[in-house]
Structure 1
């Protein structure tokens, strides 16, 4: 399980902690990842994802998981999120009978 957001691709960053005396110590800045269950209206089911807190706010702002995935770039998404995006696009493209 990598430390990477499945929706935005946000991952670990490295840098220095700088003390008052200007000593540098290498450190890792980890993303704030949370395990969430999001509902997909198009697929009529829930999906479990490991995403950053900022991505969760973006999903809510855009109007849900379906709207976020349709607008997102495929390069940033994880493999699991890409398959979800394809399924949602297929469902939305199919004529509702």
Structure 2
């Protein structure tokens, strides 16, 4: 499983551990990823995604998963979330038409 946020695309960064004697060794900075269960009002089901804590806060600030994905650019989303956005858009359009 990739260490990458499904929404923001945050991934692993690399850098150096620097000791007091100024010795340098490579290290990895891992993103703070959590498995989050988010409710989609349009789809009427719970969606589980592996998100960074920053993405979870952004989704909550926007008013939920549907609202966040409605405002998000499709070019910035990963494959699974892009598919989810299309499903939500289709379900929302069906509710408006009915």
TM-score by length of 1: 0.90
CA distance in 1, matches of 2:83, 2:68: 14
Shift of 1:74: 2.1
Paired residue total? 97
Shift of 1:96: 4.3
What is the RMSD of the two structures over their aligned residues, measured on CA atoms? 1.3
Partner of 1:41: 41
Report Cα offsets for 1:27-65 as digits up to 9, x if no partner: 110101111110001111110101111111111111100
Structure 1 regions of 5+ residues with no counterpart?
Answer: none
Structure (1/2) with the larger helix percentage: 2
Corresponding residue SS for 1:6: coil
Q: Which 4+ stretches in 1 moved above 6 angstroms?
A: none
Partner of 1:79: 79
